[in-house]
Each structure stands twice: as structure tokens, then as C-alpha cells.
Chains A and B, each alone.
Chain A
């Protein structure tokens, strides 16, 4: 079984190698970029679009002459929503395929599974996903939004609009646990009260009891930090039981486009802070959406992480070109340290922060209406990823390669 599997992969590798060799080659050596994303399994719905966005960006860049005259060659593996696959393929792209940079990861569990391997082989990886924040690692660039961008905006707005009693249901792994800690802290700082908190194991799809617990606690709104397609069943079941509470989230709609998948009005009154979704009504967003649909007409939805992946590819191009064509990580980090690696893309202008190697974002508050159309009651321009830098992470000085949380900040001094 195992042997045959490996042989099959080797054969597939040979065939793709031959195909690549047969393609018309540009004069220069290609820049190789590894792409590890979940194209099957529980997370596939949210992440297939990321691979397509990378392919779109590469297609545009290659047509315009590549990066510093060198074409991009993608090495794509399907990580199957499985953390061990991330580790296996991360070793493969770094050791065997010898890629210059890797774009990898959806769930925070998968990121923490592959990050030690990136450190071990001293590779360079982009994590193009919103997450619970706190990764201070010179080998990583994070283009997704973090809690100070998503929760410091969303939770106070919700508390002002709906009231101060909050109930959190979150996926039970590092993302949900740390995000729930952020929510708890922000609610407390703003004089609110957590009337309940429940962590749901990944893969759970039945929520009757959870719904009843929420009704008993009588919150003013519910923070839903549910991850994966199984947990998304919550919305249908809560709507069927007429819970009728407003919901706030950093992950829904912007990743899993639940408002397109469920029958209205099950997601009505859901508020999400996101740096991009296809409904964003700006010329740059519409142009991006049109390009995307032209290349992938069957794409069900262009989500936040697709935009982040597209932006990441363009930022990488800029960094390599400003480093005179070098793909060496330290050369590129010197460019980031200059503090003006910015890109005006689908979600507006974004810049990389040298201290944390995270990205600034324009944050849109998306509201799901009764007919599941989206409106934007508020927009926060240019929110910086300030928390890590303020807490004491400075990658221009040292590289701890750690993940910090509000209750476990960097040690001072």
C-alpha cells in the first residue's frame, strides 16, 4: 500500500517533470514556488480558491515577463486537510523540489505542524490566512488578518450596537482557543460580560444542546468561531430553532461563504470583519473579481484568503525585484525591513510590518442581510498588525520563532 502510493507519486512526479521540460522554456531559470493547500477534505471549500488565486497571479506575472525576468514555476500539492500531509509535503518541497518560497496553510493546526520544518530547513513561507495572531518567526510572512484587526474592531462595535452580554462558541483547537481569549479580553476591557463559552471539537455537526445552552444564557449576541464544513451546520440548526440572535465572527462568510451555501435567512444578522470578500464594492475589487471569473468561471466564491494569496504573490514579486533578483530570504527580509513593501490590490493598499512580518489591512464590516445579500455598515481603513510589535516581538532584532498569545506574551528585556 505504502510502497505503491510512493511509486504512484514518483510516477506522477516524473510525468509532470517531463511535461514541464517539454514546455517552451524562457531564457532564465524559473523561480520555484511551493503551494501546499487543502484541495480535498473538510477545509477544501474555503481553500481551493487560494490555489486558483495563486495560479491567477502567476499567470499575470509570467505573461508580463516573470519576476526579474525569471518565470514562476508552481509546485502544488494537495494537503487533504491533514496536518501530517503538511509535514510530509513541506519536507518534500524544501528538500527535494528545492523551492525558493512556500505558500502554505489554512488551519492554524496545520501552520503549527509545518512551521518547525520551515525553521529546521531554514526555508521561507507565506501564510495567507486570517488567524489567531502571535506568530513571531523570521521564516514566516503572514498576509492574513489578525485579532487586533478583526476583533478590536468587531467586538466593540457589536457591544455598542447590541449589548454587552456575549456568548462564544469556538472550534476546539489553537485557533478557536486563542481567538476566544482575545474576545474574552476585549469584552472585559469594554465593560461587558461573557455569559458563556463553549469549545466544539472539529467535525461535530449536531448542535441541539449547544443551541439550548445559548438560549439559557440569554446573550445579546453570539461570537461564532466555527471552522470546517461540519461545524457550519450550526447556522442551519440555530435558524431552525429560531435562536434569532445577532452573530459576530472573524472566520465565517469571509472564508466559507456560508451565506451562499445556506438557505436564507439562516445567516441573517451575521457580522464579519474581513479584509476582502467578493461583494466589496470598490473598482479594484471588481476588477480582481472579473479577472478571477475570467480564468475560473466555475469558482463558487472569491473569498478573503484568495485575495490574500493573490496579494502575497505580488508582494513576493516586488521583494525579489527590489533585491535585484535575489530569492535569498535574508536579502528579502532586508527589503521588508525598509518598511515600505506595499501593494495596492483587491482589498485596497496593504503594507508589510517589518517587526512582525504581518500585513496591514483595510477591514470591512460585512453584514449578512435577510436575503443573504451583504452590506457594509462600517469600514476601518489601514489597521496595522500592531499587537506583536507592541508586545515586544521585533524580527529586525531577533528571531524567537515562537507563537505568542495575550496570556503568553514575549518576555521583556
Chain B
């Protein structure tokens, strides 16, 4: 029982770190990994989803519906931002850094001014369970399952639907896609919106477990960029294995030496990976298959 308990604890911690990395990164994997837009406002899309989730939940809407509402609103904001700002900058990737950073500052300070410095949360649902003398939160298991579900749905979406194929075609060779009659402006806007909606979904999922403040998005940013950089351009072949590898590093180091070493470990891992595999894990896998 003792060994079983230790194994379960390790698996739970790995799953928890994996879920946080996958959910932090999935929206950014679409926007940065696929589209090449260095989106420093990623955290603010997460914050947007979290705030909308908490506000709709407080109106009496059940939490799962509220989380979807958070994702939808963040997605809509994403489409708007793409139409107004990002579409002018596709050929100027470095300028997107400044533009999205500005959007991030405006969103954080705007939220602070309009909604105040903090907002009461909604509380974590489902309670807890005990296993081998330690107690765990059920909601964390929900987060792990959500992370796996998001990866599976994204995979099916980009490989099995017409829109997914068009999106990949548009991002690979925009001129050819356009010549074949694809409305590339629409595809770009929708793909960016999808990335923002995924960020909003993450915010909604984590909203019950966190303190609601305008700066909450920044706590996701480091993990998100590290995962996407390690993963490379492909959402499924990159994000999933990158998150798995990094989750092992983070969970192991955190359980042995504490949070600080967990964070150091993540950053050292990313340095090693970009030195050895400059195109990330997905670049490595794709070259192997080719």
C-alpha cells in the first residue's frame, strides 16, 4: 500500500504538471507555434476567459457552461484583435511582439481600472478524496482529463475536418491556398480566434482554483512559452510530448527540491532542447518520419 500510495502520488503530480503545461500552451501552440505570431497577450486571453467564467457562474449559470462561455468570449475577442491589429503584421513577426505586448498592458490595466484590483472567486467544486493517507482534489483530475481531451479534439480538428486542413494549407503556403480559392483572411482570423478561445478555456478551467486578479495571466506565460518552444511548430506532435517531458522534469525536481528548482529545471530543459533540437520535438519527429 505504501508503494502504491507513492506511485499514485507521483502519477498525480505528473498529471497535474502535464495538465498545466498542456492547457497553458495549447492556445499559444496554435497562435505562436503554427501561425508564427509571438503573442505576448496570451496570458490576457487566459485572464479574459477566467473573468468571464467567474462572472457568468456568479449569475447562476452552471460551471461547465460558464467555462465554455469564457472560451467563446475570449475567442471572439481574439478574432477582433486579429482583424484590427494582428493581420497587418503577418509579414513583420518581430513587430507582433510590441503590438501584442501593448495589447497585454492595455488589457491588464483596463481590467484593473474597470473591475478593480481583485474579484471574489467561485471556489473549487467536487471536493477531495483520500488515498494511502494523502488527500487529493477531484477537480485536479478533471483538469488532467480536460488536457487530454483538448489534445485529442485538436488533433481530430486539424486532421479530420475540412476547416482544419484549409487552416494548415493556408499557414503553410498562403499564396497557393488563395489561388485555390481559399478565403485566407477568414482562415487566419478563425485560427487566431481558435488559439484565443483555447486560452480562454484554460482560464475558465483554472479560474476556480486561482485568485482572480488582472495579472493572473502572467503566471501561465513562462510555462506556455517553454512548452511551445520545446514542442516546435506542430500542435499535437509538439505540445503533447513537450508537456510530457517537461512535466516529468518539473514534478520530479519540485518533489525533491521545491518549487524554485522545478522552475530552474524547466528553463534548463528548454535551453538543452533548443541547442540539440532547434526545431523542437515536433521538428525532430517529423524529420525522422520523412
Contacts from A to B (Cβ < 8 Å): 40-42, 44-45, 48, 172, 198-201, 203-206, 208-210, 212-213, 215-216, 229-230, 232-233, 236-237, 239-244, 258, 260-263, 266, 298, 300
Say yes or no: is B127 at the interface (Cβ < 8 Å to chain A).
Answer: yes
A236 touches B121 (CB 8 A): yes
Cβ 8 A contact of B215, one of A229, A258, A260: A229
Q: How far does the alpha carbon of A298 sit from the alpha carbon of B115 in the complex, in Å?
A: 11
B136 touches A241 (CB 8 A): yes
Q: Tell me how many residue pairs across A and B have CB atoms closer than 8 Å.
A: 132
A198 touches B258 (CB 8 A): yes
B7-52 interface with A by 8 A CB criterion: 9, 12-13, 16-17, 20
What would 14 A/B residue contacts be, using CB atoms closer than 8 Å? A44-B117, A45-B117, A198-B258, A206-B17, A206-B20, A208-B16, A212-B255, A215-B135, A236-B123, A236-B210, A240-B127, A240-B128, A261-B119, A262-B211
**A200 to chain B: which residues have CB within 8 Å?**
258-260
Nearest residue (CB) in A for B120 is: A261
Say yes or no: is B116 at the interface (Cβ < 8 Å to chain A).
Answer: yes
Cβ 8 A contact of B13, one of A48, A209, A239: A209
Cβ 8 A contact of A199, one of B16, B123, B130, B260: B260
**A205 to chain B: which residues have CB within 8 Å?**
210-211, 216, 219
Contacts from B to A (Cβ < 8 Å): 9, 12-13, 16-17, 20, 108-109, 112, 116-124, 127-128, 130, 133-137, 139-140, 208-213, 215-216, 218-219, 251, 254-255, 258-260, 262-263
Closest Cβ of chain B: how far from A77's Cβ, in Å?
A: 15
Nearest residue (CB) in B for A78 is: B109
**B123 to chain A: which residues have CB within 8 Å?**
236, 262-263, 266
Q: How far does the alpha carbon of A206 sit from the alpha carbon of B220 in the complex, in Å?
A: 10
B120 touches A262 (CB 8 A): yes
A261 touches B215 (CB 8 A): no
A242 touches B259 (CB 8 A): no
Which of A40, A48, A199, A266 gathers most chain B CB within 10 Å? A40
Closest Cβ of chain A: how far from B106's Cβ, in Å?
A: 12
Q: How far does the alpha carbon of A262 sit from the alpha carbon of B118 in the complex, in Å?
A: 10
Q: How far does the alpha carbon of A212 sit from the alpha carbon of B15 in the complex, in Å?
A: 14
Q: How far does the alpha carbon of A367 sit from the alpha carbon of B201 in the complex, in Å?
A: 36
Q: How far does the alpha carbon of A41 sit from the alpha carbon of B117 in the complex, in Å?
A: 9
**B134 to chain A: which residues have CB within 8 Å?**
212, 215-216
Nearest residue (CB) in A for B208 is: A236
Closest Cβ of chain B: how far from A2's Cβ, in Å?
A: 13
